Structure 1
Amino acid sequence: MARRRLRHKLMLGLVLVAGSIGLLASGTAYGIYTYYVSVKTIDRKVSELAIVTQMIGALNTFDQGDPNNGDGCLLAIDSTRALLNGTYGFDQANKKNVQAGYDPDDGAQESFLIPELNRNLDALQKEVNDVIQKPQSGSTTVAVRDQEQVRREYGSARRTAENLRHALLDDIQKSGQESFGAIRRTAWVVGFAMVWALALVATMLYYFRVWMFAPIRELQAGVQRVQSGTFDQPLTLTSGDELQELADEFNAMVARLHAVYADLARQVNERSRQLVRSERMVSVGFLAAGVAHEINNPLASILFCSEALERRLQDVLASSTAPPAETEVLTRYLKMIQQEALRCKDITQKLLDFSRTGERTKDPADLTGLVRGVLEVARHLPSSRGKGVAFEPAGYIVAPVNAQDLKSVILNLVVNALDSMEDGGQLGITLGTAGGYAELIFADTGCGMAPEVLQNIFEPFYTKSRTGKGTGLGLFISHQIVDQHGGTITAASAGPGTGSTFTVRIPLQLAPGVSDAPGSEGDSEPAPTVLTFPGSRTAA
């Protein structure tokens, strides 16, 4: 005996429901459409009726004004003609409504009455002109509007205009009758569809209970038993469809699950121990980075020697005739050596206490100045030769940061970008604000990154440096620093050879009395910085 497939049952129910919904929707849509057309027709005809009413009102002014002066009569005729044949007159409105299908008789009456009214107006105007131009004889003068021919033509025009208004009223009445008829037909169709749908829903609820609801409840009960740890009570279904097959497969699965449950628990425990060991290895790696404290001694020597050299150089320069510019350069470079030596010492100290995540002191700092200070240092790096850097700040942006930490982040990103580029490469740095954050974007034309590199770029000891000299800690430490500032750092690349883009976002909080608007009073927008590093390391 062939099983009654569940999809066949559902398809049968779906077809019946779709047919009922289609019947109901079709009847409703027909009624709504007919009602919409009727409403639009009535609305258009009311607009036309308003124009005709204005025409009749303009025509009625024929009897107003000086009775002996024909200018008022001609003005009434011209006003009526304008309302009838003008750009927004009755003739144009009627043609548009007929074209749109909003006229019950397709403009049959209007197409006869409009030319008739035009003829009446032409005849009336001719008679008025004849009276004005022809001098009257006799002692008694008859007003222009009271002339027999004028009154006859005027009466014809009035009757035609009134007939036009009655034609519009007939169209409105006919449209309303058609609308009521459509509504009655729609009510019969919708009523039948609702009765059919209710009977169908009642029948389908009964069969769905037998075909689906009861088997699903049994499956749910079986799953709950397995979830509670009971594996020896199989499911029993006789629906003869996919749900019965699902119950059979579920019973087989439960049997296999019971067999591997103990082994699975053992594997989970083993994996947990391996994870703990892996975390310990990472901790050991962090501690291994602490050997960087060994470079504190040579750094101290560099700092001591630079300070001693600065003191001696001051004595030498005081008694020499060296140009002031050279003296300023030598002094500035010695200061830079001392500052960078101190910064290196601070970096090594951070590696020593890397596992301690204390709150760092944050003070309002000009991010534009920080970036330019880092670029001044980067221009002397060997990797900077033959490459260009363009820095475009959007304004004097101030944020509460730890200046030394953020300089480390900026320098690390700049050095990585320079290392990834060949000669002639370009690094673009932009600084702006977005959504309450200061946003630094570093976009280079370097070697780019593959998707797997992007996924692990901020992991400790992970490096894919083009020079092969990276330790894999720079970006990891940068990520930690930015995270401690409450910001984010992200990397993006379209693939190898397409360059990379790093975006650093730091919460933007202004120092008291300082504005972040580039054009604020008392400040001027900082000019972009464009650096080209030539072949010489000491290029200015």
Structure 2
Amino acid sequence: MGNPFSSLARRLVLLNLPVYLSLGLFLYFFTWHLLSQNLRKELAYRLELLARDLQTSMSNIYFDWQVTGLKQGFPENEVLFLARKEALETLQKKAREGHFLYFVTYQGKKLAGNVSSPEEIVTHSIEYKRFPLTPFYWQVLLGIPLKDYQKAFGKMKGYFWTALGVLVLLSSAFTYLFYLFWVRKPLNRVVKALEERRPLPYSGLREVDLLVQRVQEAMKREEELFRQVAFSEKMSALGVLAGGYAHEFNNLLQVVAGFLELAQLHIAKGQTEAALKALEGARQKAFQGAELSRKLLRLARKSPDYGKESHPLDLMVKNTIDALSTAFPKDIQVSFEAESEGLHVPLSEEEIQEIVSNLLLNAVDALRGCGKVQVTLSQKGEEVELKIEDSGPGIPPELRTRIFEPFFTTKEVGKGTGLGLYVVHQIVVSKGGRIEVGESPLGGACFRVLLPRVEPRPEKKEKKETPKSPVSKEKILIVDDEKEIRENLQAFLRFMELEASLASGAEEALEQLRKEPYGVLFLDLLMPKHDGFWLLEQLEAQNLKFPRKIILMTGYAGELSARIEKWKTRAEVSILKKPFSLKEVKEILGRKV
């Protein structure tokens, strides 16, 4: 049998039943007592009336026969006999009609009765009464049968229990209706909102609203915890790729160092053209390394708008594959084909990276250093399908239902957290999608991610920026904690016939800006103790004159537009990504290249 308390409605009804039954039993015994007392009084009164009626009837019969005897001249003995006979017949008739017991004695002997002895009346009567019938000198014992009383009272009990049963049914029905409209309906709205990932509605009931509040707090904690788990999983994945990235960076550094050493040798021999060619090769490889670091930082950054923006899936998938494939073994071929372009899904860039990186890294890991991974993007009706296939050993059917469970992994101890596919599954399901796993024509596993297609958000019209006015002989201040970067940029400016002052930190720059105004400020964003934004805040707080042009230098790959928006009203703000070239510096200063 199932648990009778598994339903809240059953609990309310069943918990109310003891109350109803206790109330019923109390009413039953209380009513029994009252009815018994009243009924016994009524029966005693009835017996009293019956005795008086018999006394009157017997007296009337006796005197009627005395008159008749005198008129007709009957002997006294005959008159007495006829009077007694009629009196007994009247008594018998009244006993039958009134359903009572009687026993008549005369001079201690039984004269008449519907029982065998007086004791029988005493034993089987609820009430009895002894009285004399004076005209005849009879002793009469009357009693009301107990069985008639029990029958009457049993009938009353039947009515009572029927009424109590109806009361219990009506109360249970009312309790269920209360549960249905005041408990179940509000809870169903909450459950539906949970299923649809909408804000939870309040019902007006204090208990339910308190539950909603606690659930919302738990959901916020769960969301934050999930973000931390997802980010941790991403960092774990990047840790796996660290060796591959380190190899690529070492290759680039080797080429840069080789070109620079060749340039030194060519200069020593007076071979200027060959030296310039070697230096150009080193410069190109340095910027190639900068692009590689941007890809890595793009993967590692933690977006503040996790799950809020929709992005074109083909571009995001391609960027993620490009960033990851750099660190893959050379014998692993990764191909990407987008059958439809410009498809939008309700995922942020970080969520797309999470899905693609986890599935792609699992596929590469399954290939054991050699094989093929094929990524396909297409539209299936109102859904967008992202399919990742590999030529590895595949996933056994008995494990396919478990691979999305948290902490489940088929990898060796220390080589997998068991959270990657769980994170992917949670992201996909939370957006109304689904993920399926099966066999690939390539021979390995095939993961199909199906997500609802959404319309792209209308692009915000960007404000037309005022043309950048070229920098001529304005005072320039360079702020960076790296000495080599300050001096390198200063040398660039000298080639442009511009002079610049230097500051090694935000506090030193603030002192110089207090002494004299500057027209152009090259400002590094990330510095020890105080960053570049601190310097701008101090200029505003101390009401100092802002430079006409502020150029923010950074190697950060994240989005900065939101943070610099407020400063655009105070100055002409631009961003110069590190590493930068002389050409980029000229462009940002509005000078001819």
For the superposition of Structure 1 and Structure 2, which TM-score range results when normalised by the shorter chain?
0.3 to 0.5
Higher helix share: 1
Q: Which has the higher strand share?
A: 2
- TM-score between both structures, scaled by the size of structure 1: 0.32
With the length of structure 2 as denominator, give the TM-score of the two structures: 0.30
Q: Relative contact order (alpha carbons < 8 A, sep ≥ 6): 1 or 2 greater? A: 1
